[in-house]
């Protein structure tokens, strides 16, 4: 019905601009119809094409004799004053020079008729517009019978007041349908709404008694071809006063100056599509009037008017009032919808403000789904998901992580970069993304916005499948062909009986207000993330400067303190040698002073060493850990190993990407600790690894390795109590006296931890007192 119901497909009929419209067409698809250049007019009016420079007639409709009293062939080549008079031509020139007539038909004058109406001399309204370098004049009967005309200004003013008082979009559209039917006197007026897939629905209706209701019926997108919808984004009104009326071609068909057919997009008299008029006759319609409803530059719907009792000519002044109302409706109908959902919109905005405050000051973006409230407390949806920090955060009913990853890849690669703004909304996800059929039960509808410029981070809302019945005005799959003068052509549907169809894998549609709210939330989140990134950059720079200052301080302090410390040690040693004999108490004090200076010197060396660890970048290369271990054993063995000590390697160590110098230091420190903290005469150290896919009996390996290889150094020493497991990795932390077990500063394990963390790994210990300790670490090499 739409094309017919809406009157939108009444625009052109033949595939070549010079073929005769009366002969029919061979088109197989409505979208291929040349609706802008039909080359003919509806015969109730006449049309002239003028050269702008001299106002000479270039083309005339072949019915000029019946309407204007002069044959088309006689008019071509004459000045237009032969039709509208010298004064009319002067007015025309003034209008063309001063007014905005480009693609905008305006009333020029009214040509008076005689009392008898003989010779076709009825009173005629004359409109003019310019297009492609020519002026187009249209002549139509005024429809004035001589009696008083209604006060159309008052009627329109009353309608505007009703529209402004409407509390919902439905009430708004009901006013439109009722008042335009009262204004035009036609039998049925419908507000026809387009859905996202192009199909239409009768959203509001006003009809005379006795007519069946079409309210709520749906019609396929093919009923209003794309060219017809495109024209209604440029023109406001389309009259067809007589569905069965004849057509009059232009003489000549092509402009003699340019050789091109006339662009008739803005002509009220533009010839009607043959298929469209057949469609209307199949419905019993005898006259039609159609107006556009636009929203943000796109076609939202149509005001479709039908008449059933013969032709109905709508004169220019009534059409002008209807066109004005259509423009007002286009400007106001979104406000009516906003008013209807004001409370819902305020609720969404309030929730989003709370979410942003939590994300900015508490737990980060994860609070959008894990906090209270969450994304589900804003937009009405069954589930929501956030891709952030390389993982999915979900709330409510959502697809699995793997399904979300596939969907996210598709959105990033194929959908989000294509639109005028980075946002995607659909209530039929499976049609665009077939893999969604697997999870249509939870995600037949999708609203998606990216949070980063590359689309890597995403925010998604899902709506579940809503199985429902759609009532069609006739079988939407009926696409008959009929014979034509030039071969078979696409014909109109013949049946308009109720056709009920069950629809699956479809959700409730997203409201425009919900889509706008999601887009606004995206903007606010992106703005917050940009601000946080700036603050993090400043903090990072401050931290880097602080670390540099701290390293400089440690170096200077260690270097400057060692100089007086060496003097103290030297003087104390000289006193021990030069002041003999010395009483026992004085000697003990000097011996203590020497020991303290030596310990202080070791502490300063350890502090300086620790400050330098991590001061340079890792030099990663594929390293054979067996070679690294051998070098560490040489380093440790030259001081500690003897014939009673054994280092066991159950199997060769792997080759891994790491920094060989730092790994050698890790093994050396752990080996040194294992040899140092052992009471027994036979010291045994085992060095090995557990591959990522292996199960190992060691208790410490129960800690999650996250799919990484775990290395270990195990000894049979004195062991460590569990309460000290975390303490031993702290700087200068020793569990024994300074002199026991060979002494030391307590910096070795701290340095091991720092070197392991430089590789992106972790280190931990498992130990049993008096049985030994095992130190585990990983080397994922993520510097």
CA atoms within 13 A on the CB side of 703: 15
Q: What is the pLDDT at residue 4? A: 35
Tokens, residue 316: 């220019």
pLDDT at 433 over 90: yes
Is the separation of the CB atoms in 293 and 281 below 8 Å? no
Mean per-residue pLDDT of the chain: 78
93 band by pLDDT with thresholds 50, 70 and 90:
very high
pLDDT at 170 over 80: yes
Task: Count helices and strands (H / E) in the chain.
Answer: 17, 29
Is 659 strand, coil or helix?
A: coil
Q: Give one DSSP letter per residue of 712-733, joined into a string.
A: EEEE-SS---GGGTTGGGSTT-
**Total number of residues shown for the chain:** 783
CA 662 to chain CA centroid, Å, is: 47
Q: What is the pLDDT at residue 293? A: 93
Which residue would you say has higher pLDDT here, 348 or 397?
Answer: 397
Tokens, residue 490: 């696409």
Q: Which fold has domain 619-778?
A: Heat Shock Protein 90 (3.30.565)
Interatomic CA distance for residues 105 and 130, integer angstroms: 8
pTM of full prediction above 0.95: no
Rounded mean pLDDT, 611-637: 78
Q: Any idea which residue has 């598709």 for tokens?
A: 410
Tokens, residue 771: 């049985």
Q: Among 73-77, 342-346, 666-670, where is mean pLDDT lowest? A: 342-346
pLDDT at 572 over 60: yes
Q: What is the pLDDT at residue 451? A: 79
Which residue would you say has higher pLDDT here, 146 or 246?
Answer: 246
Q: What is the CATH number of domain 343-531?
A: 3.30.450.270
Highest mean pLDDT among 388-392, 513-517, 620-624, 706-710: 620-624
Identify the H or E element spanning 125.
strand 124-131
DSSP state of 148: P
Q: What is the pLDDT at residue 185? A: 92
Q: What is the pLDDT at residue 247? A: 93
Q: What is the pLDDT at residue 229? A: 84
Q: Do 2-340 and 619-778 agree at the fold level?
A: no
Cα Rg for the chain, rounded, in angstroms?
44
Which residue would you say has higher pLDDT here, 502 or 83?
Answer: 83
% of the chain at pLDDT higher than 70: 70
Interatomic CA distance for residues 514 and 701, integer angstroms: 50
Is 395 strand, coil or helix?
A: strand
pLDDT at 498 over 70: no
pLDDT at 12 over 50: no
For 287-297, how does the pLDDT look when each residue is reduced to its tens digit (9 = 90+)? Answer: 999 999 998 88
Which residue would you say has higher pLDDT here, 277 or 610?
Answer: 277
Rounded mean pLDDT, 521-532: 66
Q: What is the pLDDT at residue 481? A: 57
737 band by pLDDT with thresholds 50, 70 and 90:
very low
If phi over 0 gives left and psi between -120 and 50 gives alpha, with beta otherwise, what is residue 399? Answer: beta
Rounded mean pLDDT, 28-39: 58
Q: What is the pLDDT at residue 63? A: 94
pLDDT at 156 over 80: yes
Interatomic CA distance for residues 524 and 536, integer angstroms: 18
Interatomic CA distance for residues 775 and 763, integer angstroms: 7
380 band by pLDDT with thresholds 50, 70 and 90:
confident
Highest mean pLDDT among 42-51, 230-239, 658-667: 42-51
Q: At what angle do helices 660-676 and 625-637 cross, to 10 degrees?
A: 50
CATH class for the region spanning 2-340: alpha beta
For 531-557, how does the pLDDT look when each residue is reduced to its tens digit (9 = 90+)? Answer: 555 555 556 666 666 566 556 656 665
Q: Any idea which residue has 């891994």 for tokens?
A: 656
Which residue would you say has higher pLDDT here, 546 or 467?
Answer: 467
For 411-427, how does the pLDDT look when each residue is reduced to its tens digit (9 = 90+)? Answer: 888 877 655 567 888 88
Rounded mean pLDDT, 43-71: 94
pLDDT at 23 over 60: no
Interatomic CA distance for residues 227 and 78, integer angstroms: 35
Rounded mean pLDDT, 211-232: 84
Tokens, residue 772: 């030994």
Is the separation of the CB atoms in 253 and 18 below 8 Å? yes
Q: What is the pLDDT at residue 71? A: 94
DSSP alpha helix (H) spans, 220-371: 226-231, 274-282, 316-340, 342-361, 367-370
Rounded mean pLDDT, 446-471: 78
Locate the domains of the chain by residue range: 2-340, 343-531, 532-595+605-609, 619-778
Q: Among 383-397, 687-701, 708-722, where is mean pLDDT lowest? A: 687-701
Rounded mean pLDDT, 187-216: 90
Interatomic CA distance for residues 156 and 162, integer angstroms: 10
DSSP alpha helix (H) spans, 169-218: 169-184
């Amino acid at each position: 019905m739409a094309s017919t119901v809406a009157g939108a497909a009444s625009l052109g009929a033949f595939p070549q601009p010079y073929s005769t419209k009366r002969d029919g067409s061979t088109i197989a698809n409505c979208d291929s119809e040349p609706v802008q250049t039909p080359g003919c007019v509806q015969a109730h009016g006449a049309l002239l094409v003028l050269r702008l420079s001299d106002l000479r007639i270039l083309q005339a409709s072949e019915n000029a004799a019946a309407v204007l009293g002069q044959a088309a062939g006689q008019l071509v080549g004459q000045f237009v004053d032969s039709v509208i008079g010298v004064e009319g031509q002067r007015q025309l020139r003034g209008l063309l020079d001063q007014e905005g007539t480009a693609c905008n038909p305006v009333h020029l004058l009214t040509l008076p008729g005689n009392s008898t109406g003989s010779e076709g001399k009825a009173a005629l309204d004359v409109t003019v517009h310019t297009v492609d370098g020519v002026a187009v004049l249209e002549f139509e009967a005024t429809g004035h019978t001589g009696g008083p005309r209604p006060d159309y200004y008052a009627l329109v003013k009353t309608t505007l007041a009703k529209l402004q008082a409407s509390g919902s979009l439905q009430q708004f559209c009901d006013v439109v349908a009722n008042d335009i039917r009262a204004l035009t006197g036609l039998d049925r007026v419908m507000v026809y709404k387009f859905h996202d897939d192009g199909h239409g629905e009768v959203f509001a209706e006003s009809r005379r008694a006795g007519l069946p209701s079409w309210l709520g019926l749906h019609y396929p997108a093919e009923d209003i071809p794309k060219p017809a919808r495109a024209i209604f984004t440029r023109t406001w009104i389309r009259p067809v006063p007589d569905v069965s009326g004849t057509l009059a071609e232009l003489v000549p068909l092509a402009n003699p100056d340019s050789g091109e057919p006339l662009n008739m997009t803005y002509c009220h008299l533009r010839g009607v599509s043959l298929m469209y008029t057949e469609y209307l006759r199949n419905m019993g319609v005898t006259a039609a009037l159609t107006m556009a409803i636009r929203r943000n530059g796109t076609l939202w719907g149509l005001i479709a008017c039908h008449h059933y009792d013969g032709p109905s000519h709508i004169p220019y002044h009534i059409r002008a009032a209807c066109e004005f109302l259509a423009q007002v409706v286009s400007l106001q109908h979104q406000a009516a919808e906003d008013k209807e959902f004001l409370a819902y919109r305020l609720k969404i905005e309030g929730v989003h403000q709370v979410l942003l405050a939590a994300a900015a000051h508490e737990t980060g973006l994860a609070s959008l789904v894990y906090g209270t409230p969450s994304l589900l407390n804003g937009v009405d949806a069954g589930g929501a998901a956030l891709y952030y920090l390389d993982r999915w955060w979900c709330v409510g009913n959502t697809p699995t992580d793997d399904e979300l990853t596939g969907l996210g890849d598709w959105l990033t690669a194929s959908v989000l970069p294509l639109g005028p703004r980075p946002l995607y909304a659909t209530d039929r996800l499976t049609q665009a993304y077939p893999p969604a059929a697997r999870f249509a039960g939870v995600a037949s509808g999708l609203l998606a916005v990216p949070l980063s410029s590359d689309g890597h981070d995403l925010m998604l809302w899902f709506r579940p499948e809503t199985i429902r019945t759609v009532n069609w005005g006739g079988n939407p799959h009926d696409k008959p062909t009929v014979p034509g003068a030039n071969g078979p052509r696409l014909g109109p549907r013949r049946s308009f009986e109720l056709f009920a169809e069950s629809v699956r894998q479809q959700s409730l549609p997203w409201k425009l207000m919900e889509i706008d709210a999601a887009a606004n939330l995206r903007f606010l989140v992106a703005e917050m993330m940009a601000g946080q990134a700036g603050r993090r950059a400043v903090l990072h720079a401050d931290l880097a400067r602080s670390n540099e200052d701290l390293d400089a301080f440690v170096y200077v302090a260690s270097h400057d303190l060692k100089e007086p410390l060496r003097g103290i040690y030297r003087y104390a040693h000289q006193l021990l040698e030069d002041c003999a004999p010395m009483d026992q108490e004085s000697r003990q004090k000097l011996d203590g002073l020497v020991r303290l200076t030596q310990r202080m010197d070791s502490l300063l060396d350890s502090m300086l060493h620790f400050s330098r660890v991590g001061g340079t970048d890792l030099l990663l290369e594929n390293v054979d850990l067996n070679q690294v271990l051998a070098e560490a054993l040489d380093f440790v063995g030259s001081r500690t190993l003897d014939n009673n000590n054994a280092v066991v390697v159950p199997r060769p160590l792997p080759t891994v990407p790491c920094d060989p110098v730092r790994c050698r230091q890790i093994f050396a420190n752990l080996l040194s600790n294992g040899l140092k903290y052992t009471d027994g005469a036979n010291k045994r150290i085992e060095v090995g690894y557990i591959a990522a896919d292996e199960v190992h009996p060691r208790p410490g390996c129960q800690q999650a390795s996250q799919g990484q290889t775990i290395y270990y150094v195990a000894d049979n020493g004195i062991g460590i109590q569990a309460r000290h497991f975390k303490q031993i990795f702290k700087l200068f932390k020793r569990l024994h006296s300074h002199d026991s077990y060979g002494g030391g500063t307590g910096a070795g394990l701290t340095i091991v931890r720092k070197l392991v963390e430089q590789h992106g790994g972790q280190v931990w210990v498992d130990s049993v007192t008096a049985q030994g300790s095992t130190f585990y670490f990983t080397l994922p090499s993520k510097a």
